[in-house]
């Protein structure tokens, strides 16, 4: 076991993990942050996508011990019930899910895109979620939600500055 500190959603968490523990298992089992989902555990489906230093990454392909000193953001770190993230609001409005199991990963992939590129093209939105499977087939609405969120953010920026 190894003592590590992970910076998750702006807070430092000290935990004991085996070196082989993935970031995904550290989040879900050690820290009980179960919003990030485990589906394939081998980098095929995107359900475990989180932000690492602002970039969307598969948590199942990262070791927890390698993530010290990096800023990790999970779905739990986005928005609040009173002020949801524009992506969260857009997903609800666009019905961009059915069962909801892939949803945190889809949202985090798009979050990574919008942080890097606030005004993406349709092709860029599609590429951002092309590594996120949705077995319910909500894809067209997921793309719609991505567009709507980008618009919402552009509008908010306009009024804030």
Least separation, in Å, of the C-beta of 138 and other proteins? 6
Rounded least distance, CB 53 to other proteins, Å: 20
18 binds other proteins, rule: CB under 8 A: yes
Q: What's the start-to-end Cα distance of the chain, in Å?
A: 48
51-58 CB contacts, 8 Å cutoff, 24+ apart: 51/108, 51/111, 51/112, 51/115, 52/23, 54/112, 54/115, 54/116, 55/112, 55/116, 56/108, 56/109, 56/111, 56/112, 56/113, 56/128, 58/131
Binding string, residues 99-138; x marks residues near other proteins by CB under 8 A: xxxxxx--x------------------x--xx-xxxxxxx
Between residues 44 and 69, which has the closer beta carbon with respect to other proteins? 44
Query: Closest separation between CB of residue 142 and other proteins, Å?
Result: 7
Q: How far is CA 87 from the centre of its chain?
A: 11
Which positions touch other proteins (CB under 8 A)?
18, 20-21, 25, 28-29, 32-42, 44-45, 47, 74-76, 78-79, 81, 84, 87-88, 91-93, 95, 97-104, 107, 126, 129-130, 132-143
């Amino acid at each position: 076991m190894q003592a590590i500190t992970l910076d998750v959603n702006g807070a430092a968490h000290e935990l004991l993990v085996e070196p082989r523990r993935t970031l995904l298992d550290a989040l879900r089992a050690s820290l009980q942050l179960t919003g990030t989902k485990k589906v394939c555990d081998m980098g095929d489906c995107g359900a475990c996508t989180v932000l690492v230093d602002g970039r969307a990454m598969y948590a199942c392909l990262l070791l927890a011990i390698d993530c010290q000193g990096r800023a990790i953001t999970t779905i739990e770190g986005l928005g609040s019930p009173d002020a949801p993230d524009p992506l969260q609001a857009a997903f609800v409005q666009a019905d961009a899910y059915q069962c909801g199991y892939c949803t945190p990963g889809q949202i985090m992939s798009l979050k990574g895109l919008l942080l890097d590129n606030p005004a993406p093209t349709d092709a860029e939105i599609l590429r951002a979620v092309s590594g996120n499977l949705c077995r319910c087939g909500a894809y067209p609405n997921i793309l719609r939600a991505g567009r709507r969120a980008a618009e919402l953010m552009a509008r908010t920026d306009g009024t804030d500055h």
